[in-house]
């Protein structure tokens, strides 16, 4: 363990006032050259380092960014965080990451903790259970920098970075239709999330384009976003035990996609022989699944980078920011075996 010294310790050792020591360390012209030399040499000898928390309180800047996501292990968010860090550290900011595990209560607690650490701004992707965004509205109204990414708050006018969820969903369902499937189910997250509603709209629009009737019983919501395996098992089992069982499942999120494959395997159904699959996922091992998985991939790394650039610009703006942007990035379909009609 090393011993931590303060300005008071230096002042006491050298018989100087704390203000004189502070000015000397900061190179003030008010302090004579001899005194400055004595203070700097002593500080070097005891390996004095300024307290970053004390500095942040003094400067009202901590040069840190708070990040709130549902789960770091989620492939999309792990890639987005890599993008966030790639920009933040190059710009001199530290990143503090917190996980909500889809809990609004934990989300609120995480926000309070990050604020207590004096973060300069927040990058937020809402939890699946969040319906009350009042804490974010309060901070935003006070001028605190917030950028939402992926799972955004529809009712707050601030900076947002999203994927084109409607088109990604539309393209995925259209691909299945063009493969010859007409009975297509949709496994999705909580309807609280704007991305869930946008992806459901894309699913419905693709069916409508090809005059395929929408069946509400083919849509299953998992309110915990796949965090509770039993919830996914119940939803998938309800689909595969229907008298008029779907021929394919379009899945709206990363964790749900991998969880669904596990449930189908457990039930003895083979993909794509018994049921075809396509899903939103950024998993780097999707091609190693058996069979390789057709996916809709979001530009997660780039979304993380863009959100961070916008946040730092907001933090460093000399004037209050009153105009806000929503950046929408395109998804990509990667075609593999799981969506084939056998």
Tally the residues of the chain: 342
For residues 335 and 339, give the distance between their C-alpha atoms in angstroms, rounded to a whole number.
Answer: 8
Q: Give per-residue burial for 155-169: e unless 16+ CB within 10 Å, then b.
A: ebebbbbbbbbbbbb
Output the pLDDT for position 237.
96
Rg of the chain taking only CA atoms, in angstroms: 26
What is the C-alpha separation between 100 and 128, in angstroms, rounded? 9
The C-alpha atoms of residue 148 and residue 325 are separated, in whole angstroms, by: 11
Going by C-beta distance under 8 Å and a sequence separation of 6 or more, which residues neighbour residue 241? none
For residue 53, the model assigns a pLDDT of 47
Rounded Cα distance between 133 and 124, Å, is 11
pTM for the model: 0.81
pLDDT in tens, the chain (342 residues): 345 678 888 999 999 998 888 888 877 777 888 898 898 889 888 888 766 545 544 556 789 999 999 999 999 999 999 999 999 999 999 999 999 999 999 999 999 999 988 899 999 999 999 999 999 999 999 899 999 999 999 999 999 999 999 999 999 999 999 999 999 999 999 999 999 999 999 999 999 999 999 999 999 999 988 888 999 999 999 999 999 999 999 999 988 998 899 999 999 999 999 999 999 999 888 888 889 999 999 999 999 999 999 999 999 988 888 899 999 999 999 999 999 988
Omega before 203 within 30 of 0, i.e. cis:
no
Please give the structure tokens belonging to residue 263. 């449930």
For the CA atoms of 155, 118, 325, 85, the dihedral, rounded to the nearest 10 degrees, stands at -120
pLDDT score recorded for residue 6: 82
Full set of structural domains in the chain with CATH? 7-50 (1.10.260.40), 61-162+300-329 (3.40.50.2300), 165-298+333-339 (3.40.50.2300)
CA distance 308 to 86: 9
Q: Are 140 and 122 in contact (CB under 8 A)?
A: no
User: 137 with 156: CB under 8 angstroms?
Assistant: yes
State residue 5's pLDDT score. Answer: 77
- 119 contacts 314 by C-beta, under 8 angstroms: no
């Amino acid at each position: 363990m090393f011993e931590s010294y303060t300005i008071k310790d230096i002042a006491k050792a050298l018989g100087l006032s704390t203000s004189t020591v502070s000015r000397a360390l900061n190179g003030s012209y008010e302090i004579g050259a001899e005194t400055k030399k004595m203070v700097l040499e002593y500080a070097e000898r005891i390996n004095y380092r300024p307290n970053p928390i004390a500095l942040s309180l003094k400067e009202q800047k901590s040069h840190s960014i708070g990040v709130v996501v549902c789960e770091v292990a989620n492939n999309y968010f792990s890639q987005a965080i890599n993008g966030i860090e790639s920009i933040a550290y190059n710009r001199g900011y530290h990143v503090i990451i917190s996980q909500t595990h889809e809990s609004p209560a934990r989300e609120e607690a995480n926000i309070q903790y990050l604020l207590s650490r004096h973060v300069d701004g927040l990058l937020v992707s809402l939890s699946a259970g969040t319906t009350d965004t009042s804490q974010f509205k309060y901070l935003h109204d006070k001028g605190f920098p917030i950028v939402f990414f992926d799972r955004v708050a529809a009712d707050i006018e601030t900076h947002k970075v999203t994927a084109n969820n409607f088109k990604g969903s539309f393209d995925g369902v259209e691909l299945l239709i063009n493969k010859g499937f007409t009975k297509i189910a949709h496994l999705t997250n909580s309807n609280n999330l704007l991305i869930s509603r946008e992806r459901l709209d894309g699913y419905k629009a693709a069916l409508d384009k090809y005059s395929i009737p929408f069946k509400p019983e083919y849509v299953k919501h998992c309110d915990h976003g796949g965090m509770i395996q039993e919830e996914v098992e119940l939803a998938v089992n309800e689909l595969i035990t229907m008298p008029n069982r779907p021929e394919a499942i379009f899945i709206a999120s990363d964790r749900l996609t991998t969880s669904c494959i596990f449930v189908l395997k457990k039930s003895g159904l083979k993909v794509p022989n018994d049921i075809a699959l396509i899903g939103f996922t950024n998993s780097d091992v999707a091609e190693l699944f058996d069979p390789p998985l057709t996916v809709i991939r979001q530009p997660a790394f780039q979304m993380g980078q863009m959100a961070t650039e916008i946040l730092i610009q907001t933090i460093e703006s000399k004037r209050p920011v009153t105009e806000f942007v929503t950046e929408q990035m395109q998804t990509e379909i990667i075609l593999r075996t799981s969506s084939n009609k056998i």
